[in-house]
Amino acid sequence: MGFKIGIYLLLFASIVYAIYLALPKKARPFCLLAFSILFYVIYSKFLTIFLLLTILTVYFGGIAINKFNDKFALQKQGLEKEDRKKLKQKFNRKKFWVVFCVILVNLAFIGVLKYFNFFGSIFEGFFSWFNVTIHWPVLKIALPLGISYYTLTAIGYLVDVNRGKYRAGNFWQVALFIGYFPQLYEGPFARFDQLSPQLWEGKGFDANNFYGGLLSILWGFFKKMVIADRLAIIATEVFSNYAQYNGIIILLGIVLFTIQLYAEFSGIIDIASGVSELFGIKLAKNFNQPFFSRNVGEFWRRWHISLGAWLKDYIFYPVSMSRGITKLNKKMQKLNSFMQLFITSSIALLAVWLTNGLWHGAGAKYIVYGMYYYVLMLVGLCCEPLFAKIYKKMKINKDSKPMIVLSFLKTFVLVNLGMLIFRANSLTAAVKMFGGIFTGGQIDIIRTGIIDCQDFIMCFVTIAILFAVDIIKEKNINIKQWFLTRKTALKLTIVILILVLIVVFGAYGNGYVPPDPIYGAF
Amino acid sequence: MEKLLNILNKIKPNIDFSKEQNLIEGGILTSFDIIRLVAELNSEFDIEITPLYILPENFKSAETILKLIEKLQEED
């Protein structure tokens, strides 16, 4: 959702909003569904077929599970406990195969469309070791909009139906839940029980939703166009031509990229959430001041929250509770509890971080990116008892303010190293850039010609604004609530002020090409 | 209850689980402890705790864990 698609979403949403409000309550959810499909068709054209196939497979999968549940409820009556248990196992097996097939089909779609060429390069590389040349065909096809988001959302829905969290919805409910347009570009990942009831409520105009939504949209555009797109000028240049720059500039490029990604991704989520709020529909929270994290584990609970929660619920717990791990746990009873925990965790976390890395992209560097956090997590787990002893012996209060600030800084440094792997053009480039950090040279970035003096100052002023807002939120002060309780005249003044700031200070205009969003069109 | 308290103490010794009411938010049981606890409960009580039941309200005290076990036994 660059500048253009951001405006496109806003214009599109404005038209939908006007029609939505004019319709009777019962017709409103269908209006959202029709325009969601239209939004998708305009953007992805014939690739919409993949979204429809996902909706259909997941819908029929859910219906099949409903039927098995009903049959079980009918047949179990009057049975003894043992027979009931056997019957349950029989139906569980049937349900498992339904879920398995639906997931397989959907993973096949994303596997072919997103990972086909990557797997090909692995395949070719593997055979080249044995001096065998294999020519893997290269697939040249654009990705359907948001396939990485809606596929996981759909899988989560079906798994929850299978677990008995709720009964499968009807076709329209499932279609709108998966295809709801504000969340298609960059998420967040939705949960059926949280989103679907809101979608079908058909809420009318509400001043709080209107102003609240407007504030989120404008703040999102401010973060994207004033902060992220300006930082991108420096970050893109440094990452593209790192060999020309010295240590300080490379370091600055990495740090500014981290902040760019935060401003951009959270900004786009704010726009999507704001658009949705206009319709009275609240999307899941995806960011919670991530740079106030004391360790990388906490960082991932505050950054891209809906992805972390998805991985926890649908990868971490199922792997940890699988029969294999349970058996392994029993075999390890002779080991001390810490070793048991470490071995079990290392298996479950490997699955989590491998999925996380692969989800971010089809490439070796994304797997390394996932593995980087995996190693950090394990090292953190290993060192926890050691640090606890050191703190105790040295009488250090780890909850004292200086120690908290130090832990924030430590996390920030580690996250920036992760971002270096994530953003660098290749793994080799990442290693070279890391080495480049330790070279000397000039510090004056203006003389490098990357950016002029005014823009450079603006970078830091806007970063200060971004962090000031985060500090206020971290102190549990609800800015939106404060805004909503002001008089209409003041609310409108604030709205116009942010709009003027975006128009005056936004990074756009002749000769400026806005960067493609990093998390966009995944 | 005694069986449950023994399991809990095996996983996390030196905690009075009969009194603790804030096992999750108080940081007494981590997600890794929960995994070990679930494995023990499944085999000891012949139940199947699926990830669906991994909610803070089900694991906040020994009492709520016992309620979950009873609920799953009834469901069978």
Q: How far is CA A382 from CA A372, A396, A406, A496, in A?
A: 15, 20, 20, 52
* Distance between CA atoms of residues A398 and A412, nearest Å: 18
User: Which residue of A294, A326, A330, A378 to mutate against B (max B Cβ within 10 Å)?
Assistant: A326
Q: What is the mean pLDDT of residues B6-12?
A: 89
DSSP states of chain B:
-HHHHHHHHHHSTT--TTT---TTTTTSS-HHHHHHHHHHHHHHHT----GGG--GGGSSSHHHHHHHHHHHHHH-
Q: How confident is the model at residue A247 (pLDDT cuts 50, 70, 90)?
A: confident
**Contact (Cβ atoms closer than 8 angstroms) between residue A195 and residue A281:** yes
Q: Which helix (H) or strand (E) holds A197?
A: helix A192-199
Say how far apart CA A152 and CA A109 lie, in whole Å. 12
CA-based nearest residue in chain B for residue A317: B51
C-beta separation of B3 from B66 below 8 A? no
Q: Which domains does chain B have, with CATH numbers?
A: 2-75 (1.10.1200.10)
Whole-number pLDDT of residue A439 = 83
In chain A, which among 56-95 make CB contacts under 8 A with chain B? 81, 84-85, 88
Distance from the Cα of A353 to chain B's closest Cα (Å) equals 16
User: Which residues 6+ apart lie within 8 Å of A461 measured at CB?
Assistant: none
User: What angle is formed at CA A485 by the lines to CA A484 and CA A490, rounded to 5 degrees?
Assistant: 80
- 8 A C-beta contact, residue A299 and residue A413: no
Separation between Cα atoms, residue A178 and residue A168, nearest integer Å: 13
- Which residues are paired to A287 by β-bridges? A303
What band does A522 get if pLDDT is binned at 50, 70 and 90? low
Would you kindly state where each structural domain of chain A is located, as residue ranges? 3-204, 206-283+426-516, 293-396
Locate the chain B residue with the closest alpha carbon to A166.
B52
Contact A88 B32 (CB under 8 A): no
Find all residues with CB under 8 Å of A240, minimum gap 6, and list them: A425
Beta bridge partners of A303: A287
Question: Helix or strand or coil: residue A303?
Answer: strand
- What does the pLDDT look like over A79-122, one tens digit per residue? 888 898 899 889 999 999 999 999 999 999 999 999 888 888 88
CB-based contact B39 A348, cutoff 8 Å: no
- Among A254, A292, A287, A256, CA closest to A270: A287
pLDDT tens, A144-201? 999 999 999 999 999 999 988 899 999 999 999 999 999 998 889 999 999 999 999 9
With CA atoms as reference, report the closest residue to B38 among B22, B56, B50: B50
Q: Which residue has the higher pLDDT, A433 or A331?
A: A433
Q: Mean pLDDT: which of A51-65, A117-131, A235-249 is highest? A: A51-65
The answer to whether A228 and A264 are in contact (CB under 8 A) is yes
Separation of alpha carbons A503 and A218, rounded Å: 11
pLDDT for the residue numbered A87? 93
Confidence of residue A1 (pLDDT cuts 50, 70, 90): very low
Report residue B73's pLDDT band, with 50, 70 and 90 as the boundaries.
confident
Give which of B38, B40, B52, B58 to mutate to test A binding, by max A Cβ within 10 Å: B52
Mean pLDDT of the A68-89 span = 91
Q: How many residues would you count in chain B? A: 76
Nearest-CA distance B60 → chain A (Å): 18
Chain B interface mutation, best of A321, A335, A336, A339, highest count of B Cβ atoms under 10 Å? A321
Confidence of residue A441 (pLDDT cuts 50, 70, 90): low
Neighbours of A31 (CB within 10 A): 18
Q: How far is A106 from chain B (nearest CA, A)?
A: 22
pLDDT tens-digit series, residues A375-422? 999 999 888 888 888 988 988 888 899 999 999 999 999 999 999 999
Report whether A214 contacts A279 (CB < 8 A): no
pLDDT at A447: 67
Q: Do residue B50 and residue A85 have CB atoms under 8 angstroms apart?
A: no
A329·B51 Cβ contact <8 A: no
Residue A157 to chain B, least CA–CA distance (Å)? 12
What is the spatial distance between Cα A364 and Cα A137, in angstroms, rounded to a whole number? 19
Distances (CA, A) of A510 to A173, A462, A513: 44, 22, 8
Q: What is the pLDDT of residue A37?
A: 96
Digit-coded pLDDT (tens) for A255-283:
999 999 999 999 999 999 999 999 999 99
Q: How many angstroms separate the CA atoms of A521 and A419, rounded? A: 19
In this prediction, what percent of chain A has a pLDDT beyond 90?
67
The sign of the torsion formed by the CA atoms of B34, B36, B39, B45 equals negative
Contact A88 B76 (CB under 8 A): yes
Give A484-515 pLDDT, tens digit per residue: 999 999 999 999 999 999 988 887 665 556 66
Query: Which residues neighbour B24 within 8 Å (Cβ) at sequence distance 6 or greater?
Result: B56, B59, B60
Contact A344 B52 (CB under 8 A): no
A521: helix, coil or strand? coil
* Pair A412, A291: CB distance under 8 Å: yes
Rounded Cα distance between A116 and B46, Å, is: 44
pLDDT value for A521? 54
Residues in A closer than 8 angstroms to B39, CB to CB, are: 321, 325-326, 329-330
Is A329's Cβ below 8 Å from some Cβ in B? yes
Mean confidence (pLDDT) of chain A: 90
Q: Which residues of A touch B54 (CB under 8 A)?
A: 317
What pLDDT does B36 receive? 79
- Residue A10: predicted pLDDT: 84
**In the prediction, which pLDDT does A509 show?**
60
CB A326 within 8 A of CB A344: no
The answer to whether A429 and A240 have CB atoms below 8 angstroms apart is no
Distance from CA of A252 to the nearest CA of B (A): 37
Closest-CA distance, B29 to chain A, in angstroms, reads 13
Give dist(CA A421, CA A419) in Å, integer: 5
Compute the count of residue pairs across chains A and B with CB atoms less than 8 Å apart. 46
Angle in degrees, CA A420, A423, A424, rounded to 5: 75
Which residues in chain B have Cβ-Cβ distances shorter than 8 Å to A318?
51
The residues near A296 (Cβ < 8 Å, ≥ 6 apart) are: A373, A376, A377, A380, A411, A414, A415
Q: Give the alpha-carbon dihedral of A392, A396, A398, A400, to 10 degrees.
A: 150
pLDDT at A395: 87
Distance separating alpha carbons of residues A336 and A346, to the nearest angstrom: 16
Q: Would you call B51 and A340 a contact, using CB atoms and an 8 Å cutoff?
A: no
Burial class (CB in 10 A: 0-12, 13-18, 19+), A270: buried
> Cβ contact (<8 Å) for B76 and A85?
yes
Task: Please give the backbone phi and psi of residue A200, each rounded to the nearest 5 degrees, phi first.
Answer: -100, 5
Residues 6+ apart with CB under 8 A from B31: A312, A316
DSSP string for A80-128: -HHHHHHHHHHHHHHHHHHHHHHHHHHHHHHHHHHHHHHHHHHHHHHHH
Model pLDDT for residues B14-68, shown as the tens digit of each residue: 889 998 888 887 778 877 788 878 888 988 898 888 877 887 788 999 999 999 9
List of chain A residues whose C-beta atoms are within 8 Å of the C-beta of residue B38: 321
Report the pLDDT averaged over residues A44-71.
97
B21 to chain A, minimum CA–CA distance in Å? 23
